[in-house]
Amino acid sequence: MLPTGGKLEQARKARDPRFDGRFFIGVRTTGIYCRPVCPVKMPREENVTFFDSAAAAIEAGYRPCLRCRPESAPGIPVWRGSSSTVTRALRLINDGALDQGSGAMLCDRLGVTTRHLAELFANHLGASAKTVARTRRLQFAKKLIDETSLTMTEIALSSGYGSVRGFNDHFVQTYSRSPGSLRKARSASDGSVELKISFREPYDFQSLLEFYRIRAIPGVENVSVDNAGKSYERSFVLDGKSGHFSVSQSGNQLVCAVQGESTGSLMRIMRKVRSMFDVDAVPEEINSVLCEDRIMRGLVKQRPGLRLPGAFDEFEIAVRAIVGQQVSVKGATTVMGRIADQYGTETEFGRVFPTPEILADLDPASLPMPSKRARAIKLLAVAVADGELGFDMDEQAFYEQVIAIAGIGPWTAQYICLRALSNPDSFLHGDLVIRKVAEKILGVSSEKELINRAEAWRPWRGYAGMHLWRSSAD
């Protein structure tokens, strides 16, 4: 529960869209919680309570508003100043750690006791890990009911419920009505699903597309940036099912269209797409820190909606980082295409980049690159395939294990953390382009000076790096 009054009360009365999803409003007289932008009649100040998350509102006994649909609000990134344990726990929960597994299993993966984790969640989120997971499932199910024509059975399984009965019981418990009673008439599904993803303005979709366009792996990804249509699309295999998705912009939302037999993996697909397009970022917080630097302020004003490019396939990005050592972006893209062509899997929707298991068995001499780099890719693949290295690890432990692999240095490890782990504070201070731009516009001539200058940009050094990269491109 958050304190009432002050800035949050001003945001509520103004229905300020900048705060949408950053807090929720519980109305004591109705027992309903809403978004700050809810269009219903404004409740009186003495009747409202503020919550840090939807899970905290549900834990306090409030039910979601059917008018403003809290499940459609822009999200909050897990990197928001919480403890590293809470951050990692939220990532694991978003990956479905509590959909089938137990709380004890989650604690084992985190290396903490159940009591300690409960205390951390209560202090940082105001809700238990179980409630956070249940709220996540419920919100995604409600979104599928409103935006798709999937059957209730498909929705239950896609949302992480173990059974339709459990889904129905949870829905009735929260909404006091059955899932089917909230569905409007829809035509039968043609096998594709289209979902909307909200983001906070400003949002520079064009810059993300440009970034992905010059790095798109031939046959795996395709990016359109012309006036006829601006979109990103790729083929994939998840949970043994092949599919294809495309992402385009419509107003203040992204539209993600998914095809294939992967409806059971929809929540994972959407989680990966959200990370890829950094839709949960809070530009106001990021830009306020970066703009304290006079020169950085000019770059931010040019592109206030710049976002961090994430990863749909974390392993693919890790391989990309190794391939990109000391070569041009175009050259790295060509090599990635050759690896996909030689070792990738062909599906009815297109080619898919090879898995760690496939590349773990390759002969390094077969890769079109220096032998040291090729061996690094094989060693990375072996570590991931054997479970020794995971993209859900504690970031510091992950970084140390990655950099211990022969052929992988700080730049490569930082690039992987920036994109595959979506760490907004990962800064590539050794990057040649960033150092050249920093010397030209910031007046810093050494890597040590740049590191010291970047301290003021924490915890958003990753965004600062993207501004410097973009400045070079411009």
**Whole-angstrom distance, CA of residue 364 vs CA of residue 372:** 9
For residue 295, the tally of other CB atoms under 10 A from its CB is 11
Q: Is the pLDDT of residue 185 over 70?
A: no
Provide the CATH number for the domain around residue 232: 3.30.310.20
pLDDT at 187: 54
pLDDT at 472: 87
Section 296-313 average pLDDT: 97
Provide the CATH number for the domain around residue 25: 3.40.10.10
Confirm if 429 and 420 have CB atoms less than 8 A apart. Answer: no
DSSP string, 190-252: -SEEEEEEE-PSS--HHHHHHHHHTTPPTTTEEEEEETTEEEEEEEEEETTEEEEEEEEEETT
Whether 387 is covered by a domain: the verdict is yes
Q: Is the pLDDT of residue 81 over 60?
A: no
Domain that holds residue 30: 6-72
Query: pLDDT-based confidence at 261, cuts 50/70/90?
Result: confident
Q: Is the pLDDT of residue 319 over 90?
A: yes
Q: Is the pLDDT of residue 77 over 80?
A: no
Whether 390 is covered by a domain: the verdict is yes
Over residues 41-71, the pLDDT tens digits come to 999 999 999 999 999 999 999 999 999 999 9
Over residues 386-397, the pLDDT tens digits come to 999 999 998 899
Q: Give the residue numbers marked as catalytic.
A: 34, 431
User: Of 32, 47, 72, which one is at a domain's C-terminal end?
Assistant: 72
Confirm if 383 and 314 have CB atoms less than 8 A apart. Answer: no
Same domain, 318 and 433: yes
Whether 389 is covered by a domain: the verdict is yes
pLDDT at 359: 97
**Whole-angstrom distance, CA of residue 388 vs CA of residue 415:** 20
pLDDT at 3: 79
pLDDT, the chain, mean: 93
User: Of 280, 304, 329, which one is at a domain's C-terminal end?
Assistant: 280
Same domain, 336 and 380: yes
pLDDT at 194: 94
Same domain, 257 and 376: no
**Total domains, the chain:** 3
Same domain, 351 and 413: yes
User: Of 280, 300, 322, which one is at a domain's C-terminal end?
Assistant: 280
Query: Which residues lie below 8 Å from residue 312, measured CB to CB, with a gap of 6+?
Result: 234, 236, 272, 273, 276
**Whole-angstrom distance, CA of residue 436 vs CA of residue 186:** 55
| Euclidean distance between the first and the last CA atom of the chain, given in angstroms as a whole number | 45
Report the DSSP beta bridge partners of residue 254.
Answer: 197, 249
pLDDT at 262: 75
For residue 186, the tally of other CB atoms under 10 A from its CB is 12
Burial degree of 322 (CB within 10 A; 0-12, 13-18, 19+)? buried
Does the predicted TM-score (pTM) go above 0.85?
yes
Same domain, 329 and 265: no
Over residues 330-368, the pLDDT tens digits come to 999 999 999 999 999 999 999 999 999 999 999 999 998
